[in-house]
Amino acid sequence: MPSLKEYRDRIASVKSTKKITSAMKMVAASKLKKAQDQAEASQPYARAMGEMLARVAAGVNITPTSPKLLIGTGKDDVHLLVIVTSDRGLCGGFNGNLVRKARQEIAHLEREGKTVKLITVGRKARDLLKRDHASKIVHSFTGLGSGKKLSFAEVNEITKEVLAQFEAEAFDVCTLIYNKFRSVLVQKPSAQQIIPFKAAESDEANDNAPEEPKEEDGLKSPYDFEPEEEAILAKLLPRNLGVQVFRALLDSAAGEQAARMTAMDNATRNAGDRINSLTIQYNRARQAYITKELIEIISGAEAV
Amino acid sequence: MTNNTFNFELVSPERILVSEPAWQVTIPGEGGTLGVRKGHASFVVSIKPGVVEVIKSEGGEVEKIFIAGGFADVSAENVTVLAEEAVNVNDLDKDLLAQELQDLNEDLQRAEDEAEKAKVSGELELVQIKLSAIS
């Protein structure tokens, strides 16, 4: 049986752990608020961009000379996966789940005989995938949003890299794998194809604005374009790509904080439970010790 | 008062900058500057770096906003400008920009390869446009 001192030390150590986890929970909660605000603030742009793109794309006849970002390379051999995780751990299953999803995706594509390349965003994705997929990683980004908040310019570096690879015909299909922020309690690892562009943004439709695309069909007024549709499209598509990536990262950032908050909340509660049970054990041991001493004194006195 | 305004929105990827009724908006389109009032034909236009001028009501004050390129979606009742970067011209600091201009010029001298040169001269152009927007 551990001595009283050991119990005391253990209780003290769990108490200090509890202090840390509850502080981390508070920090995550305030960061979550900021990340959510930022994600919300980016919505109007993404929405307007989507509407505009849909409008322009509707006016363009698909020809083999159309921008490759829209129609694809015509092949489906090389897949590029952009895997978005956080830089830091201690956020429950946030990164683990995402990486599991990524592994499934990789295995699935490889079974179909495709070549897979990876771009990792965030230290965790790189570290976790390095072990068995090191040869597939073509680029890693870390330290994004290490400042106060994620800036569009930072995220654009990723987009630029993806576009450069696409120009160099290094891949045919690009898919983003990231944690979609559903609620504070639920972050869903999701895959979203970004190249070639999918006109019907399925997640967009069921996410927040199911009624808006419908409206679009109704008001098919003749639109003028300046310069030509094709030229605008060629400019819009990379921009849209940037917006999609930005949104995914914002979602992921908000999700990370939410996951951390939940994980730390659990940890704090567990620490509390642990302190209670340790205290009970400590008290029992103390009483047993006192009883033992009394018995010793009494039996000593009797013996005289 | 007759309602001769339309909804004007200026959004950047990070936030909404302006969302209010306006009477006239001047947009530096790629193929030339265009002024938009209520009832304008539907139009999608790509914007080059320059100054968007917003007049909230007839005869009102001109508000100038610098944007670093983007797109505008014009319809009879709505104008949405998607800007890559946007700053109110009043918030631009002439001295700071002059300094930046000087730094970039130095960078341009030092730039080693073509790609870097192109990047720096692109930035240089932006700063020059910003400067000319102030004066």
Mutation target among A36, A45, A223 for the B interface, most CBs of B within 10 A? A45
Tell me how far apart the alpha carbons of residues A23 and A293 are, in angstroms, rounded to a whole number: 42
Tell me how far apart the alpha carbons of residues A261 and A259 are, in angstroms, rounded to a whole number: 5
pLDDT of A222: 65
DSSP chain B: -----EEEEEE-SS-EEEEEEESEEEEEETTEEEEEETTPPPEEEEE-SEEEEEE-STT--EEEEEE-SEEEEE-SSEEEEEESSEEEGGG--HHHHHHHHHHHHHHHHH--SHHHHHHHHHHHHHHHHHHHHH-
Would the CB atoms of B43 and A223 count as touching at under 8 Å? yes
Quick check: B130 and B97 in contact, CB under 8 A? yes
pLDDT of A282: 95
Nearest by CB to A243, from B13, B45, B46: name it: B13
Nearest by CB to B14, from A55, A152, A224: name it: A152
The domains spanning A4-24+264-303 and A35-200+220-261 adopt the same CATH topology: no
- Tell me which chain B residue has its CA closest to the CA of residue A243: B13
Phi, psi of A210 (to 5 degrees): -70, -25
Residues on chain A bordering chain B, Cβ-to-Cβ distance under 8 angstroms? 38, 41-42, 44-46, 48-49, 51-52, 55-56, 151-152, 221-227, 231-232, 235-236, 239, 242-243, 246
Residue A49: list chain B partners with CB under 8 A.
82
pLDDT means per 10 residues in chain A (304 residues)? 88 96 94 89 84 76 72 83 90 91 92 91 90 88 76 85 88 91 89 75 41 42 71 83 88 91 95 96 94 95 90
Tell me how far apart the alpha carbons of residues A282 and A294 are, in angstroms, rounded to a whole number: 18
Would the CB atoms of B82 and A48 count as touching at under 8 Å? yes
Say whether the peptide bond before residue A238 is cis (omega within 30 degrees of 0).
Answer: no
Would the CB atoms of A44 and B41 count as touching at under 8 Å? no
pLDDT of A211: 39
CATH topology of domain A35-200+220-261: Pyruvate Kinase; Chain: A, domain 1 (3.40.1380)
Domain ranges of chain A: 4-24+264-303, 35-200+220-261
Would the CB atoms of B14 and A221 count as touching at under 8 Å? no
Phi, psi of B82 (to 5 degrees): -100, 110
Phi, psi of A166 (to 5 degrees): -70, -45
Angle at alpha carbon of residue A229, lines to B12 and A238, rounded to 5°: 45
Min Cα separation B32/chain A (Å): 10
Mutation target among B71, B75, B126 for the A interface, most CBs of A within 10 A? B71
pLDDT tens track for A139-167: 888 888 766 677 888 888 898 899 888 88
Would the CB atoms of B30 and A48 count as touching at under 8 Å? no
Quick check: B84 and B12 in contact, CB under 8 A? yes
Would the CB atoms of B44 and A226 count as touching at under 8 Å? yes
Residue B44: list chain A partners with CB under 8 A.
52, 55-56, 223-226, 232
Min Cα separation A79/chain B (Å): 27
- Kindly give the interhelix angle for A43-59 and A229-303, rounded to the nearest 10 degrees: 150
DSSP chain A: ---HHHHHHHHHHHHHHHHHHHHHHHHHHHHHHHHHHHHHHTHHHHHHHHHHHHHHHHHSPP-TTS-HHHH--S---EEEEEEE--S---STTHHHHHHHHHHHHHHHHHHTT-EEEEEEESHHHHHHHHHHHGGGEEEEE--TT-SSS--HHHHHHHHHHHHHHHHTT--SEEEEEEEEE-SSS-EEEEEEEEESPPSS-HHHHHHT-SSHHHHHHHT-PPPEEES-HHHHHHHHHHHHHHHHHHHHHHHHHHHHHHHHHHHHHHHHHHHHHHHHHHHHHHHHHHHHHHHHHHHHHHHHHHH-
CATH topology of domain A4-24+264-303: Helix Hairpins (1.10.287)
Would the CB atoms of A48 and B80 count as touching at under 8 Å? yes
Q: Taking CB atoms and an 8 Å cut-off, how many pairs form between chains A and B?
A: 72
Nearest by CB to A44, from B11, B41, B75: name it: B11
Mutation target among B46, B47, B74, B77 for the A interface, most CBs of A within 10 A? B46
Q: Which residues of A are catalytic?
A: 91
The label of the residue with tokens 């720096």 reads B120
Nearest by CB to B13, from A56, A152, A223: name it: A152
Beta-bridge partners for B79: B8, B74
Residue B71: list chain A partners with CB under 8 A.
52, 232, 235-236, 239
The list of chain B residues with pLDDT below 50 reads: 1
pLDDT of A203: 43
Would the CB atoms of B46 and A232 count as touching at under 8 Å? yes
pLDDT of A11: 95
**Does this complex have an ipTM over 0.85?**
no
